[in-house]
Amino acid sequence: MAVAFVSEMLTPIEVIEQIAAANNWEVDHADKNELVIFVEGRYSEYEVAFSWLEDVQAIHMACGFELEVSQQRLSQLRELTRLLNESAWVGHFDYWREADMVLFRHAVLCPDGEAFSATQAYVMLAKGMEVCEANHAAFKFVVEDNLSAAEALASNITETKGNA
């Protein structure tokens, strides 16, 4: 991902839009305070939605991927999100049943007109993608392979060490 020069006078949504443009990512604008970026990851295409929340003066990000979950696996999926969230320092996982999406959500406060920089936007987006990619397999293990949440976490090896 590239961090393009961005003027300090841009709104948080405009900052995000410039980063998307610099990376040639497809963007869908819901309105002036919301946009969705579509980013191809290693395991899935991710929808990364950004919303400017005027009432709390925050930019909210929800980075997600589709995952259809049966009623029988829903409790284990919720347990997995709970276990992942226990170790999270920033952001949290959620499952949006209405859209069959796993979401990693995070927000940055920008009170009293505080500028939202391109670097902040890039880090927020990169962290969302990184966390989704790192835990994608665990969600699949729970839903498709019928593993328990604990088993899925133990089996979730996404980084290798050394050379084969």
pLDDT band at residue 163 using 50, 70 and 90 as cut-offs: low
Q: Is residue 158 in some structural domain? A: no
What per-residue confidence (pLDDT) applies to 9?
Answer: 72
Question: Which CATH number characterizes residue 36's domain?
Answer: 3.30.1460.10
Q: Residue 22's pLDDT is what? A: 92
pLDDT in tens, 35-59: 999 999 999 999 999 999 999 999 9
The answer to the question of residue 83 being in a domain is no
How far apart, in whole angstroms, are the C-alpha atoms of residue 137 and residue 37?
Answer: 22
Which string of DSSP letters, residue by residue, matches 79-100? HHHHHHHHT-SS-EEEEEGGGT
Q: What are phi and psi of 16, to 5 degrees?
A: -60, -45
Q: What tokens appear for 152 in the block?
A: 């899925």
> How far, in Å, CA of 50 to CA of 61, rounded?
5
pLDDT for residue 151 is more than 80: yes
| Domain limits for position 117 | 12-70+90-132
The answer to whether position 161 is within a domain reads no
**Mean pLDDT confidence for 106-126:** 89
| Number of domains the chain is built from | 1
10 band by pLDDT with thresholds 50, 70 and 90: confident
pLDDT digit string, tens, across residues 59-94: 999 999 999 999 999 999 999 999 999 988 899 999
Beta-bridge partners for 8: none
